[in-house]
C-alpha cells in the first residue's frame, strides 16, 4: 500500500501520528476527570463518550492533506502505536483499537473512491470511526451487557462527538495549516494554492 507514496508523505504521516499521540494521551486524562464526575450516577464511561471524537482526528487531518488510499487507516494506527511507545497504560491493544477506528474513517473516504473531500465526507469519516469503534467496544469492553437505551444514547453521543470534533474541528485545523503554506507540496496545499490564485485573478 505504501509503495505509491513518496517518502515525504510517509514521514509526514508518521510525525502527525506522533504529535497526535501526545494529544490523545492528554485527552485520556481529561476523559478520566470527566468520568470521576459522572460515576456516582452510573454514567461514568460517558466521560469518554463526549470527547471520543478527538481520538479519530488524525485520520481526518491526514487523509484531507495527503488524499491517498490508506492515509486515514495508517495514520490512526501510527498514533495508536506511538502511544504504546510512549508507555500508554492501555498497551498493545491500543494498536488494534486504533486500527479499527482508522478503518472506520477509511471506509468513508473509500466510498467516494478518494475523490471527494468535502465537509460532508470528512464528517462522515468521523462518524464512520465512531461507529466502528463502538462495534469494537460491544465485543471488547463488554458493552453487550448494557441496556439498549443506554447503549443507543452512548452511540449517539459518540457519533456526534466524532462528527463535530473529528470531522469539523479536524477540517478547521487542517485548513488553518494550509493557510500557513507548509502544506504546499501535498495534495491539499496544491488545491489551496490554485484556489487562492483563482481568487486573486
Partner 1 sequence: MLTSINPTMKAFAVLIPALLLAVTYDPLTPSIYLVFTILVTFLFSKVAFKRWLVIFSPFLLLAVSFAWMTMLHPSEAFSGGDVLFSIWSFQVTSESFWAGISLGLRSLSFAALSLLFILTTDSTKFMLSLMQQCKLPPKLTFGILAGYRFLPTFRYELQVLRQAHRIRGVGRARGMKERLHQFRRYAIPLLANAIRKAERVALAMESKGFTGEPNRTHYHEMTIHKRDWVFVSVFFVMFFVSVFLSYQLGFLNIFGKQF
- Asked if 168 touches partner 1 (CB under 8 A), the answer is no
- Of the candidate spans 15-23, 105-113, 127-135, 155-163, the one that interacts with partner 1 by CB under 8 A turns out to be 15-23
Burial class of 108 by CB neighbour count within 10 A (0 to 12, 13 to 18, 19+): buried
Task: Using the CB atoms, write b or e for 127-162: b if 16+ within 10 Å.
Answer: bbbbbbbbebbeeeeebeeeeeeebeebbebbbbbb
Q: Which is nearer to partner 1, 1 or 111 (CB)?
A: 1
Q: Does 7 bind partner 1 (CB under 8 A)?
A: yes
The cell numbers describing 158, all together, are 459518540
Is residue 147 within the footprint of partner 1 (CB under 8 A)?
A: yes
Q: 69 near 1, Cβ under 8 Å?
A: yes
Q: From 98-106, 122-130, 159-167, 182-190, give the range in contact with partner 1 by CB under 8 A.
A: 182-190
Residue 36 binding partner 1, by CB under 8 A: yes
**Which of residues 18 and 160 has its CB atom nearest to partner 1 in the complex?**
18
- Nearer CB in complex with partner 1: 90/160: 90
Q: Is 18 in the site for partner 1 (CB under 8 A)?
A: yes
In whole angstroms, how far apart are CA 127 and each of 31, 76, 133, 195?
19, 15, 10, 28
Q: Is 144 in the site for partner 1 (CB under 8 A)?
A: yes
Name 131's Cβ contacts closer than 8 Å, sequence gap at least 6: 104, 155, 159
Size of the site for partner 1 (CB under 8 A): 59
**Cβ–Cβ under 8 Å, residues 61 and 173:** yes
Contact residues: partner 1, CB under 8 A: 2, 5, 7-8, 10-19, 22, 32, 35-36, 38-39, 42-45, 74, 78, 81-82, 84-93, 95-96, 139-142, 144-151, 173, 176-177, 180, 182-183, 185
Amino acid at each position: 500500500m505504501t509503495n505509491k507514496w513518496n517518502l515525504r508523505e510517509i514521514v509526514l504521516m508518521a510525525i502527525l501520528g506522533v504529535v497526535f499521540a501526545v494529544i490523545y494521551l492528554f485527552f485520556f486524562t481529561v476523559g478520566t476527570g470527566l468520568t470521576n464526575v459522572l460515576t456516582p450516577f452510573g454514567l461514568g464511561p460517558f466521560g469518554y463518550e463526549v470527547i471520543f471524537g478527538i481520538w479519530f482526528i488524525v485520520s481526518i487531518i491526514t487523509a484531507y492533506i495527503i488524499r491517498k488510499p490508506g492515509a486515514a487507516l495508517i495514520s490512526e494506527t501510527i498514533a495508536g502505536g506511538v502511544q504504546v511507545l510512549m508507555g500508554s497504560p492501555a498497551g498493545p491493544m491500543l494498536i488494534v483499537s486504533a486500527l479499527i477506528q482508522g478503518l472506520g474513517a477509511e471506509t468513508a473516504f473509500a466510498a467516494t473512491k478518494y475523490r471527494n473531500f468535502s465537509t460532508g465526507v470528512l464528517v462522515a469519516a468521523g462518524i464512520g470511526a465512531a461507529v466502528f469503534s463502538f462495534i469494537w467496544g460491544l465485543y471488547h469492553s463488554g458493552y453487550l451487557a448494557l441496556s439498549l437505551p443506554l447503549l443507543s444514547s452512548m452511540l449517539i453521543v459518540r457519533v456526534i462527538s466524532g462528527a463535530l470534533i473529528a470531522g469539523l474541528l479536524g477540517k478547521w485545523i487542517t485548513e488553518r495549516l494550509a493557510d500557513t503554506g507548509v502544506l504546499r507540496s501535498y495534495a491539499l496545499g496544491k488545491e489551496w494554492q490554485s484556489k487562492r490564485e483563482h481568487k486573486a485573478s
